[in-house]
Amino acid sequence: MKNLKEGFESICIRDVDNDNFHAHLPPIYATSTFAYKDLDRAIAYFKGENQDYMYSRLGNPSNQAVADKIAKLEAFGISDENGEPIQAYGQLFASGMGAIAAATVGLLKSGDKIITQGNLYGTTNELFTSLLLDYGIETIIFNLKDLEHLENTILNDETIQMIYIETPANPTLQSFDLEAIAIIAQNMGIKTVVDNTFATPYLQQPLKYGIDLVVHSSTKYLNGHGTGISGVVIGKDNSLVNGKVKNIQKMFGACASPFEAYLLNNGLKTLALRMDKHCENAEKLAYFLKNHELVNHVNYLGDIDHLDHLLAKDQMKKYGGMLSFEIKGGFENSIQFLRNIQFCTVTASLGTPDTLVSHPASMSHAKMDKMQRLEYGISDGLIRVSVGLENIEDIVADFEQALEKLNV
Ligand SMILES: *Cc1c(COP(=O)(O)O)cnc(C)c1O
């Protein structure tokens, strides 16, 4: 395939032949250890002179094949200053949190600071503001929309060494300008990490804007079927991905299981197809909700009334499969709405074929200070939806009957 151009969907689907028997699908290398068939090569490996497989915590062909595939997707269609296609590198982790921990701990040291938004994924927020703090890495929660103030803040504090961004952010889909933030970071000589879980590389490619590392909870849309937990770190700089980041994986033991790699690779094959359908169904559900009398407002990036609609239009290929909406009647009515749901699935998480409905105020954000929660638009009546791939009329009918049964 050297001279043939591969489209995004083709990269998702085609596998590299990585075994001696030419299995059509990449085998699950269920082995802890690889034998030293060639002693000279083994000795050279331990000197760091080759990248052979030795022990699955340090590398496994099933894991590497899928990490390479996701790296190709994140780098898809992106050229460098000379017009040459960029190359990206990837490492697979046991979970999204394993990937996020490695990308941050690997690049930082005690005394460094992270600057980030206040509406991060809950466990990422906990990692930054509690665990990392205990190890001398402080986190500044900041309004990443205020670019001028961001630049000055970094300029005046040389211990700020990383900007960490999650866009679109949960559950209001607030979005941040990756290009503008990457320029500030590059001017200041600091690193940027983007959690691209909600968008996937099909809809948004942070590497295009000069972001250093992309992390994913591949548990979500990349696996796409809710069958397992995994994470990935992708970047253009091999010395970061296969140096500092991989080193944390080695020492913390956050390596993925080859079985998870197999599930992830299988799911990835339909990524483009699924994302198109998630986006299409989300748009239709958003339209229904926006016109419903019991709904105050809808947060959906494809809606021209969303504050970040134009940014999303610019930065993303489509508007994604996530939305949230506020039900009239606050906390009680939104809990009642969940009780009324019959067809969709009431749970957190996202990116599965079925539609998932949750109530952030009593679930994912229940521990958050109420004032802070409201500041980020997570009101008592807010419902979050990961719009699935079912027949849209069935999804809409379920929401319609669940809303109808409310006594407002
Ligand atoms: C789920 C999620 C994570 C954590 O990933 P795990 O695979 O559960 O460890 C991180 N960021 C975002 C945006 C997520 O949705």
Domain boundaries, the chain: 8-268, 272-404
Q: Which CATH architecture has domain 272-404?
A: Alpha-Beta Complex (3.90)
- Which of 214, 219, 223 has most ligand 1 atoms within 8 Å of its beta carbon, as the pocket-test mutant? 219
DSSP letter string, 236-253:
S-HHIIIIIIHHHHHHHT
Residue 97 CB–ligand 1 contact under 6 Å: yes
Cα 352 to ligand 1 centroid, rounded to whole Å = 13
For ligand 1, atom 7, name the residue with the nearest CA. Answer: 96
Residue 22 and residue 15: Cα distance in Å, rounded?
Answer: 11
For ligand 1, atom 1, name the residue with the nearest CA. Answer: 217
Task: Give me 69's structure tokens.
Answer: 């595939």
Task: Give me 100's structure tokens.
Answer: 């996020």
Check residue 19 and give its pLDDT. Answer: 86
Residue 219 CB–ligand 1 contact under 6 Å: yes
Cα 152 to ligand 1 centroid, rounded to whole Å = 31
Residue 101 zone, left/alpha/beta (φ > 0; ψ -120 to 50; rest): alpha
Residues of the chain with pLDDT under 70: 1-3, 408
Task: Kindly report whether the global pTM for this prediction surpasses the value 0.95.
Answer: yes
Task: Cis check for the bond before 201: say yes or no (omega within 30 of 0).
Answer: no
Check residue 20 and give its pLDDT. Answer: 87
User: Which of helix, strand or coil describes residue 50?
Assistant: coil
Question: What's the CATH class of domain 8-268?
Answer: alpha beta
Task: Give me 17's structure tokens.
Answer: 């032949």
Check residue 407 and give its pLDDT. Answer: 75
Q: 40-70 in b/e burial notation, b at 16+ Cβ within 10 A?
A: eeeeebeeeeeebbeebeebbbbbbbbbbbb
Residue 271 and residue 37: Cα distance in Å, rounded?
Answer: 38
Beta strands in 220-283 (DSSP E): 231-235
